[in-house]
Every structure is written in structure tokens, then in C-alpha cells.
Structure 1
Amino acid sequence: MGSSDAPEDPDLEDAMDELEELEELVDSPAEREQVREAMRTLRRARARPFGRLRSAFGRRDAGEALVGSFIFGIPMIVEEGTLEIGAYIAARPAYIGLTAILGLGFVLGILYAAGFAEVEEDLLAGVVPFRLVGILVVSCGAALLLMTVWGRVDWTTPVVAGSQTLVTAVVMAVGASLGDILPER
């Protein structure tokens, strides 16, 4: 236990080896059971490629989501292709809905991969996770604000402008969800 030849970046297997050694060293049955319980907990733990989510979506999470939105969204805002895609789906109402559903699906998929369903405590109306709402509000608000302020949309044609903003918001929502779940350092 605690040998000098331990790897620099220990993983779950290293921790399990240490606990197995400790199990052999403890004297009392109560201590041995405590070590075994720690081993069971470690076996149930899974490595997360992303950071741990806090149980409530707060200002820090909103800030992380905003940074992620900007990183992903700025190229979309300045790119002409975004405007072309928005104009294309504006003429096809089913595509507008499909774009929104796909965007929501991407965000939910990213959040579920990070385990947000396991930690979510704040629910709006007892059903909708506040983290999801927060990410969507941050990203959609940023898309709406920047697309309008930077003159990328013409609100005299609201369906086209809304569709162009939706395309940007979908990408920004993906960035916001990734920004929210990235590990803290």
C-alpha cells in the first residue's frame, strides 16, 4: 500500500488493488466490511469522460453554457451558410420542427451522457429539468441577441429570421451543453 512504484495517474483498478491490500491488513470484521463496502462502491462507479455536474444549475453553470455557446456559435453567426440553411428550412415548416427536435435531442443526449438525470434536483413544474431549460435559455438568448445586434437577420421576414436564428441556436445549445459538462480544472 502506498508503494513508490505506483503509476502517476491512478485509475479505478489501482484504487481497487489498494483496497484489496487494505482488506488483508485490517483486523476487525467491522473494518473489513467497511473496506468491502468501499470496493463495492468503486465497482459500481463508472469513469466519466466529462466533469461532474452540480445538482443545481446556477450562475457558474450559466456562465459555462454561455462560453460554450459563443465558442460554437460565433462561426455560425458569421457564416453565410447559416443564413442559407435558415432560409431553406423557413419554406418548409416540417423542417423547422425537425431542426428544433434534433437540436433538443442533441442537447439531451450530451446531458444524459454526463449523467445529468442522476443528479438533477431542480425541476420546473416538477417535470422539466432546470439544467435543460437553463442551457436552452442561455443558448437561444445568445443566438437571438447576436443574430439581431450584428444584423445577421431581417425581422421584417420573421419566419426566415426565426429559422436562421434557430439554426444558430441549435449549434449554440450543443456548445452550451458541452460547456456546462466539461471538467473543472
Structure 2
Amino acid sequence: MSEDQTEPPATEDDDSIGALFDELEELQAIVDDPTEREQVREAMRAAIEVQSDSTAVFGRVIWGFDRSDFAEALLGSLLFGIPMAVESGTVDAGQHIAQHPLYFAGTLAAAVGMVVGILYVADFQDVRVAKRVFGLVPRRLVGVTGTAFLTSVVLLTGWGVVEWSTDPQMAWVALCVCSVAFVPMAIGAALGDILPGS
């Protein structure tokens, strides 16, 4: 397992593992010494490894974001995004939101909001925040949404759905089309990331 990600399998002691993680996270927050903080992280990993023999998918504590999570998010993005790349309605919707900048902002906000809901609110898995980008945004949220958006841009560009140009208006429409495809791709990325339980 990666250094910053561990997961307990589903057992009758799931509540105990969750409570243990809560207590260890509280301890990590009050410990001042970096060495002691690392010891708390080691205790978290050790607690997870105690029950690593089960192959259950649900009921795990998901902690961190590593390259296997990236691969799962990429697969989820592609599964939900390929239909968007071949559907002409994606271009129509992108052209529509290009004429309404508030709709563009709303589209992005809705996509990020759904990802937050899937990862942290819906309780599919017990997703914990191991590290934050700039001390604010959970790395898993950045990883999932970033993977989905980058996949959207690469897929739609590679398949000729959008054309990037030096003309700002054409580039804006291309960005809006990619943003429309980003919505289901972000949902797919979030589900792909957490449903395997890693």
C-alpha cells in the first residue's frame, strides 16, 4: 500500500476502526512535533493493516490519493466521458453556456459540488482527508476533478470535437464544451475512485 493511503476492509468492527481513526486524527491535530505526527500516521497505517485480509469493497476508510486512485479516476472519467465525446448535444450545450458565462460557472460549480457530495457526503465510503493542497482543498478532490477535467480536454481535443485556436472566442467555446463533458466525467471519476474501495 502507498505511504499516504490505507484502508480497512468491511468487518463487524468498522465502527471501531472509524472511531479509532477519529481519535488518531484528533491526536495528530494537537501534536506539535513532526516526528510524533509521523508516529500517529504510522499508528493509523498499523490499525488498517490489522484487518487487511478481507476483500470487502465497502465500509473501508479511504485515506490519501495516489497513482492507483488516479488510475481509477481516469477509468471512471473515460467510462462516463466517451459517450459525451460522440454525442453532438455536448457541443450544443457547450455553445449555449459559452453565451451565458454564469451558466459556465454554474456548470463547474455543480460538477465540483457533485464530486464533494459523492466523496464526502453520500457516505459510500469513509473518506478521510490525509493532505490538503495549499492547506485548504483536499488532495483527493483536486485529484478527482483535475483528472476528469484533463481527460475531458484531451479526449475531446484528440477526437476533434473541439478545436483550440488563438481566436479567444473559439477557445472560449472549446473550454465550455469541455466543461459540459467534465460534469459526467467528474461523477465517473469520483465513483471510479471510491467504489473499488481504495
C-alpha deviations, 1:16-44, integer Å up to 9, x for none? xxxxxxxxxxxxxxxxxxxxxx7x849x7
**RMSD over equivalenced CA pairs, Å:** 3.0
Structure 1 residues 69-148: aligned runs within 5 Å: 69-112=77-120, 113-114=122-123, 119-148=128-157
Counterpart-to-counterpart distance in 1, 2:177 and 2:61? 31
Q: Is the alpha carbon distance of 1:177 and 1:158 closer, same or farther for their aligned partners in structure 2, counting shifts above 3 Å?
A: same
Whole-angstrom CA distance in 1 between matches of 2:86 and 2:59: 30
1:122 maps to a residue whose letter is K
Higher Cα Rg, which structure:
1
Following TM superposition, by how much is the alpha carbon of 1:152 offset from its aligned partner in structure 2, in angstroms? 0.2
3-state secondary structure, aligned to 1:54: strand
Whether contact under 8 Å (1:51, 1:183) holds in the other structure is: no
Residues 62 and 127 in structure 2, CA contact (< 8 A), matched pair in contact too: no
In 1, distance between residues paired with 2:76 and 2:59?
14
Is contact 2:125–2:194 with CA below 8 Å preserved after alignment?
no
Q: Could you tell me which amino acid in structure 2 is paired with residue 152 of structure 1?
A: V
Q: Distance in 2 between matches of 1:168 and 1:53?
A: 30
- For 1:64 and 1:80, how far apart are their aligned partners in 2? 27
Distance 1:146 1:176, change over 3 A: same
Conserved 8 A contact 1:50-1:182? yes
- Aligned-pair CA distance for 1:163: 0.4
Deviations along 1:74-115, one digit per CA (max 9) or x if unpaired, are: 001110001100001100011000101111111100001247
**Within 5 A, what are the aligned runs for 1:11-26?**
none
After TM superposition, what 4+ stretches of structure 1 lie above 6 angstroms from structure 2? none
Equivalents in 2 of 1:125, 1:138: separation in Å?
Answer: 18
- 2:158 corresponds to which letter in structure 1? V
- Percent sequence identity is 41
Unaligned runs of 5+ in 2: 1-9, 20-56
Q: CA deviation at 1:154?
A: 2.1
1:51/1:181 contact within 8 Å kept: no
Residues paired across the two proteins, number: 149
1:160 aligns with 2:173: yes
**What secondary structure is seen at the aligned counterpart in 2 of 1:183?**
coil
The answer to whether residue 64 in structure 2 is matched with residue 56 in structure 1 is yes
* In structure 2, C-alpha distance between the alignment counterparts of 1:150 and 1:77, rounded to whole Å: 8
What do residues 99-134 of structure 1 show as CA deviations (whole Å, max 9, x unaligned)? 011111111000012477851111111111000000
Separation (CA, whole Å) in 2 of partners of 1:51 and 1:134: 22
Unaligned ranges ≥5, structure 1: 1-10, 16-37
